[in-house]
Amino acid sequence: MSVVANIGFVFAAGLLTAIATGLGAIPFFFFDEISDRWNVVLWGLSSGIMVSASLFGLVDEGLAAGGPLEIAAGMAVGVLLVVVAHEILVDVEVDPRQYEEADFTKLLLILGILTVHSFPEGVAVGVSFADLGLEGGLQLFGLTVPVLAVFMTVAISIHNVPEGTAISIPLRSMGVSEPRMVWWAIFSSLPQPIGAVMAFAFVRVARDFLPFGFGFAAGAMIYLVLTEFIPEALELGDNVPSGGKPELVAGIAVGVAVMLPLAVI
């Protein structure tokens, strides 16, 4: 398959993860709101999936392609990039309530802020496709696709659902229509297919940096889980008996279980 076709395939995988974010708005077609208890479970599920995919998939694959120092260096840079980006954008954080009222310039700023959160996930998808078209993968659409890429695409897609729900909640309070809530949820993850293509193109050309790329994606995602997803779940748990901790643990356990096949493939 040509280079353009490969890039198109990776872009489609990244776009699929972005579209999955829109699924987080679907419950609002049927319910007025989602309870904090279920939101805590969803954030726990997302956290378990992300950490497991990072450790069982990205780190393990990185160690097969390189050494621990390369993985560690990549993880450190991934964490550093997220920290620096947050520091730069700390004074311009936006709330989903602003989406509907934003002009073009404001939307570009919002998209830039969303990139900090969703770009590392796109990178994870991109590097997982590094061996696209090579031997040893699954046959999909006439192309050999790495098993890791399939798991990572599914993992990021599942993870994006509670993110879409979190974005939709304030939009619901504004009276935004359900179809537009789906659109804004997808909009929040649009940097992912871009990040996927950039990472894929880089590691295909510079194969020596593949372990670093795996480490980068893993470090950024694990850091986001520890500093954003779990704190978000605990904050929502304030209104749930026992602080929502049992629900959070249950969600994490299910997320880890979903990704366990990565550890044995």
How many distinct structural domains can be found in the chain? 1
pLDDT tens-place string over residues 169-191: 877 877 788 898 898 889 888 88
Whole-number Å distance between alpha carbons of 25 and 251? 19
The mean pLDDT value for 57-80 works out to 89
| Residue 15: pLDDT over 90 | yes
- Position 21: which residue type? T
The mean pLDDT value for 63-75 works out to 89
**For residues 64 and 214, is the Cβ–Cβ distance under 8 A?**
no
| Residue 147: pLDDT over 80 | yes
The mean pLDDT value for 81-94 works out to 70
Whole-number Å distance between alpha carbons of 216 and 70? 10
Confidence of residue 95 (pLDDT cuts 50, 70, 90): low
Whole-number Å distance between alpha carbons of 214 and 124? 7
Residue 133, sorted as left (phi over 0), alpha (psi -120 to 50) or beta, turns out to be left
Burial of 104 (0-12, 13-18, 19+ CB in 10 A): exposed
Q: Say what the pLDDT of residue 208 is.
A: 80
* pTM confidence score: 0.81
What's phi and psi for 140, nearest 5 deg? -135, 125
Pairing of strands 138-140, 143-145: antiparallel
Domain that holds residue 166: 3-264
Vertex 61 angle, CA 225 and 18, to 5°: 50
Whole-number Å distance between alpha carbons of 221 and 195? 13
Average pLDDT of the chain to the nearest whole number: 83
HSE-CB for 101 with a 13 A CA cutoff: 8
